[in-house]
Chains A and B, each alone.
Chain A
Amino acid sequence: MMAGTPTHTKRQVIDDSFLENRAKVLDLAAFLDRVDRAAGALDAAGAKEAPDDDFRTDALRRAIALLLDGKPERARRILELWSDHSTEPIPAAPMKGALGTVDLR
């Protein structure tokens, strides 16, 4: 396969995948609604209860802005947005897992 050679027309892509992606947008909307409805402070450090105060929901909102900017390569740019851009190894691993995004605030 040669790079940059899509097999389907724009119409075909939308016909094939609109419903699947419509559902994903609703899932995201419902997730943000669920966060809004949920009780309690976001962390033990005394953060305000507004969902914007969690670095992950903040990162989602910033990614949504990239979805709407009309520029190409949205997936790559969102992954870069959420990435650690430092270049030196850290002194020691603080945990095994990853959180999904750096704190962009």
Chain B
Amino acid sequence: MYIDPHIHMVSRTTDDYQRMALAGCVAITEPAFWAGYDRSTAQGFADYFRLLTDTEPKRAAQFGIAHHTWLCINPKESEDVGLAREVLGLIPGFLDRPNVLGIGEIGLNKNSRNELLVLEEHIALAKRYGVLILVHTPHLEDKLKGTILIMDAMRNQGVDPGRVLIDHVEEHTVRHVLDRGFWAGMTLYPDTKMTPQRAVDVFEVHGTDRLWINSAGDWGVSDPLAVPKCRVEMRRRGHLQDAIQKVSFDNPLQFLSQSGRFRLEP
């Protein structure tokens, strides 16, 4: 039994739900993200938020998977601050939906001034409503700088790091994130993030406290079964079932349960 705490099922087929259920997935969380193109209106986001809070939970439930979500405008669409503020204005109207856990995946993409401004306004919104935060950290060469800027922005607004999950950490950012008291997620993504082998290396070096794994499966090259594959890699390397369960079930359950809305049954 496992939880995939970051996957974009809007981009996946129903067959993927079936395969995940067969592999032992009982619950997922789906952050709002960039659709591969810039949406031209706030209404496009309102429709997307309806999909995340109404359509996907029903699709997941057909396979016994509990579906949860996080709402935001992704940093890739934050250069247009006017549009971003319109979308921010829509979010409170969806926060009382039963599967909404908080604000996410917010963060930075290219570490620009407008991205940072929109991130700060998302953080303020999350604080105002007392909800959890799921953070996207930038890609590749931008990740280290962006991770530090994001954590500084959280500190500047007095956010409790124990209520923030900073995702897509790698070997050069994981220690920074854990040392500042945040939770950290490792994304098992074939070319641009972590492999299962490297993720298990991180557990061996840094331990398993406040760390989880996810597939971040989406419309790109990605694998919705990445979490069970990492569990197999841990078992192959001789790790005990307790440790496997901790990173793929217990830790996500502990963090997400702070929302008061996370559940294991659809």
Contacts and interface: CB of A to CB of B under 8 A. Distances in A.
Interface in A59-105: 73, 75-76, 79-80, 82-87, 89-102
B141 A83 contact: yes
B171 interface: yes
A93 B110 contact: yes
B170 A90 contact: no
Contacts of A8: 237-238
A40 interface: no
Nearest to A91: B113
A4 interface: yes
Given A79-B170, A79-B172, A85-B144, A5 B113 contact: no
Contacts of B144: 79-80, 83-85
The B interface is mostly helix, strand or loop, or mixed, namely: helix
- How many residues of B sit at the interface, in one of the four size bands? 35 or more
Contact of A3 (B76, B139, B204): B204
A89 B172 CA distance: 20
A5 B204 contact: yes
A86 B148 CA distance: 11
A84 B141 contact: yes
- How many residues of A sit at the interface, in one of the four size bands? 35 or more
Given A1-B243, A79-B171, A91-B112, A99 B204 contact: no
Contacts of A6: 204
B205 A4 contact: yes
24 contacts: A1-B239, A1-B240, A1-B243, A3-B207, A6-B204, A7-B237, A75-B170, A75-B201, A76-B171, A76-B172, A79-B172, A84-B111, A84-B142, A84-B144, A84-B145, A90-B110, A90-B112, A92-B79, A93-B109, A93-B115, A94-B110, A96-B110, A98-B138, A101-B141
